[in-house]
């Protein structure tokens, strides 16, 4: 591949991309999918249980002239993930160009109900590791044949600022996200020669998603008061940062973790 060709694939415009967002039927995943739809990317809206919401989102995108398909798959199941990528290729006639690993194993951000250190069971950790690291491993491996075909690829993993500042010690969730950050950097190193860029976008508590719906309003207000910008990050603000890592503007960036929390955690 010539330098000019390499630059072209690395800087693929968003409106020429096919973007797979896992767990996109609801919550922040839905906001991420909508942000890519705004940029006219073709969308693969993955879901596991939220069939109605995922289909409604896909239909809304198509009604505005966009391209979208909703596909059910348990992303912790490698065979289901392979089938999802095959279905996406059949739908759009081309490989997926960007994978956003957003799907979250069932979890509620309610500090009063979390498992404390002297009671939590290792099975809680394995559930979260399977949902974070295992799912990301499945999607990246399934995407690689397509990435090699086009000479580039983008992987964007969704992390958490709790890794940097565990203000609420959700032990299992935070450990899994820390492992996903490690995977982000080791995969960036290993897959870079294939033109694949792997990055992470880490949010704080978002106002409001399904996962944060149990969070009391006073907690949101306390967090807002601690941020330099004076408010809690919205799903839409977070989604904009995710889109950046798929865009040509980030073509020289890989192995990075961008914390998007209105400055609550710096560094």
Catalytic residues: 173
Q: What is the dihedral of CA 100, 104, 110, 116, to 10 degrees?
A: -120
Give me the residue label for tokens 């999802």: 84
CA separation for the pair 23, 178 (Å, rounded): 20
What are the distances in angstroms from CA 140 to CA 57, 59, 81, 107, 191? Answer: 24, 27, 10, 23, 10
Contact 75, 137 (CB under 8 A): no
CA angle 252, 253, 254 (to 5 degrees): 125
Those residues with Cβ within 8 angstroms of residue 160's Cβ, 6 or more apart along the chain or in another chain: 173, 174, 177, 202, 203, 204
CA separation for the pair 14, 24 (Å, rounded): 18
CB-count exposure of residue 42 (10 Å: 0-12, 13-18, 19+): buried
Give me the residue label for tokens 């865009």: 247
CA angle 79, 20, 142 (to 5 degrees): 35
CA separation for the pair 212, 107 (Å, rounded): 9
């Amino acid at each position: 591949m010539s330098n000019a060709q390499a630059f072209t694939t690395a800087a693929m415009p968003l409106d020429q991309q096919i973007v797979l967002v896992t767990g996109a039927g609801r919550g922040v995943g839905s906001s991420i999918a909508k942000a890519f739809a705004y940029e006219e990317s073709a969308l693969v809206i993955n879901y596991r249980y939220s069939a109605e919401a995922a289909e409604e989102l896909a239909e809304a995108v198509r009604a505005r002239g966009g391209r979208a398909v909703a596909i059910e798959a348990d992303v912790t199941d490698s065979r289901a993930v392979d089938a999802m990528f095959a279905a996406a290729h059949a739908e759009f006639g081309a490989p997926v160009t960007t994978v956003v690993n957003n799907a979250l194993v069932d979890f509620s951000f309610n500090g009063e109900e979390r498992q404390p250190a002297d009671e939590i069971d290792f099975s809680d950790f394995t559930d979260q590791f399977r949902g974070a690291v295992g799912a990301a491993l499945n999607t990246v491996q399934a995407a690689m044949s397509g990435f090699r075909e086009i000479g580039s690829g983008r992987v964007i993993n969704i992390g958490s600022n709790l890794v940097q500042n565990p203000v609420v010690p959700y032990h299992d969730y935070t450990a899994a996200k820390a492992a996903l950050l490690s995977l982000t950097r080791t995969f960036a190193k290993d897959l870079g020669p294939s033109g694949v860029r792997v990055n992470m976008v880490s949010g704080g508590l978002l106002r409001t998603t399904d996962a944060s719906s149990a969070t009391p309003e006073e907690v949101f207000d306390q967090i807002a008061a601690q941020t330099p910008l004076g408010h809690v990050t919205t799903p839409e603000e977070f989604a904009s940062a995710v889109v950046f890592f798929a865009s040509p503007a980030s073509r020289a960036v890989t192995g990075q973790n961008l914390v998007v929390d209105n400055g609550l955690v710096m560094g």
